[in-house]
Chain A
Amino acid sequence: MYSQPKPFRVVLRIAWMELLSSVRDRMTVLYAIVLPLVLYPVLLFLAVQVYLLVRGREQHTEVRLGVMAPSEQVQQVGTRGSPTEGVLQALSMRTPDQWLPDTTPTTVAPSTVDAVRIVEVRGGTPDDARVWLSQTKELDAVLWLGSATAADTELIYDSTSERGDLAARRIQPRLNTQAENLRFVTAQRNNVPPARMDAVADGGRRDLSPNESKAAFLMSFLLPMLLVFMTLSGAFYPAIDVTAGERERGTHDTTLLLPVDRATVLQGKILAVAALAMTATLLNVLALGLSVGHLLTMLKGGGANIDFDVPWTAFAAITPLALLFAFFVAATLMVFASQAKTFKEGQAALGPLQLLFYLPAMAGAMPGLVLTKTLACVPVLNVVLAFRDLLKGRWAPVEYSLVAISLLVFALLAVRGATWFLQREQEGRPLFVGFGRKSA
Chain B
Amino acid sequence: MEATTRPAIEAIGLKKSYHDPKRGRVDAVRGINLRIMPGEIFGLLGQNGAGKTSTLRMLATILPPSEGTARIDGIDVVQDPIEVRRRLGFLSGSTGLYPRLTPRETLQHFGVLHGIAPDRLAARIDELLGVFDMRAWADGRCEALSTGQRQKVSIARALLHDPAVLILDEPTTGLDVLATSAMIEFIESRRAAGTCVLFSTHVLSEAERLCDRIGIIHQGQVLACGTKEELRAQTGATWLEDVFKRIVLGGATA
The answer to whether A and B interact is yes
Residues of A within 8 A of B (CB): 1-5, 10, 13-14, 17, 20-21, 24-25, 249-254, 256-261, 426-428, 433-434, 438-440
Contacting A at CB under 8 A, from B59-103, are 60-64, 66, 82-83, 85-88, 90, 92-101
Kindly specify which of B107-115, B129-137, B184-192 makes contact with the partner chain.
Answer: B107-115
Contacting A at CB under 8 A, from B1-56, are 16-21, 26
Q: A253-B94, A254-B98 are in contact. Are A433 and B19 (CB under 8 A)?
A: yes
Contacting pair A428 B18 (CB below 8 A): yes
CA–CA, A249 to B141, complex, Å? 14
Contacting pair B82 A21 (CB below 8 A): no
Q: A2-B86, A17-B109 are in contact. Are A428 and B96 (CB under 8 A)?
A: no
Contacting pair A260 B112 (CB below 8 A): no
A21 shortest CB reach to chain B, Å: 4
CA–CA, A14 to B113, complex, Å? 9
B212 CB–A CB distance under 8 Å: no
Residues of A with C-beta under 8 A to B115: 2-5, 259
B218 CB–A CB distance under 8 Å: no
CA–CA, A51 to B18, complex, Å? 62
Residues of A with C-beta under 8 A to B100: 20-21, 24-25
B117 CB–A CB distance under 8 Å: yes
Within 8 Å by CB of B18, from A13, A258, A426, A438, lies A438
Within 8 Å by CB of A21, from B63, B98, B157, lies B98
A to B contact number (C-beta, < 8 Å): 101
Top 6 closest pairs, chain A to chain B, by CB:
A250-B96, A438-B18, A2-B115, A259-B85, A24-B100, A259-B86
Taking CB as reference atom, which chain B residue is nearest A254?
A: B95
Contacting pair B90 A259 (CB below 8 A): no
CA–CA, A440 to B87, complex, Å? 27
Q: A253-B92, A259-B113 are in contact. Are A439 and B19 (CB under 8 A)?
A: yes
Taking CB as reference atom, which chain B residue is nearest A22?
A: B100
B5 shortest CB reach to chain A, Å: 20
A343 shortest CB reach to chain B, Å: 13
Residues of A with C-beta under 8 A to B105: 17, 20
Taking CB as reference atom, which chain A residue is nearest B105?
A: A20
CA–CA, A252 to B88, complex, Å? 17
CA–CA, A256 to B63, complex, Å? 10
Contacting pair A24 B19 (CB below 8 A): no
Interface residues on B, range: 35 or more
A45 shortest CB reach to chain B, Å: 33
B116 CB–A CB distance under 8 Å: yes
Contacting pair B101 A2 (CB below 8 A): no
Taking CB as reference atom, which chain B residue is nearest A17?
A: B109
Contacting pair A258 B113 (CB below 8 A): yes
Q: A13-B112, A438-B20 are in contact. Are A254 and B96 (CB under 8 A)?
A: yes
Q: A258-B110, A433-B19 are in contact. Are A17 and B98 (CB under 8 A)?
A: yes
Contacting pair A252 B94 (CB below 8 A): yes
CA–CA, A5 to B94, complex, Å? 26
Residues of A with C-beta under 8 A to B85: 257-259
CA–CA, A249 to B86, complex, Å? 24
Taking CB as reference atom, which chain B residue is nearest A265?
A: B113
CA–CA, A2 to B121, complex, Å? 11
Q: Provide 21 A-B residue pairs closer than 8 Å at the C-beta atoms, listed in order of the A residue.
A: A1-B87, A2-B116, A13-B109, A14-B113, A17-B98, A20-B105, A21-B100, A250-B95, A251-B97, A253-B57, A253-B96, A256-B61, A257-B88, A257-B95, A258-B110, A259-B83, A259-B86, A259-B113, A260-B82, A438-B21, A440-B66
CA–CA, A259 to B62, complex, Å? 11
CB-defined interface of B194-220 with A at 8 Å, one 1/0 digit per residue?
000000000000000000000000000
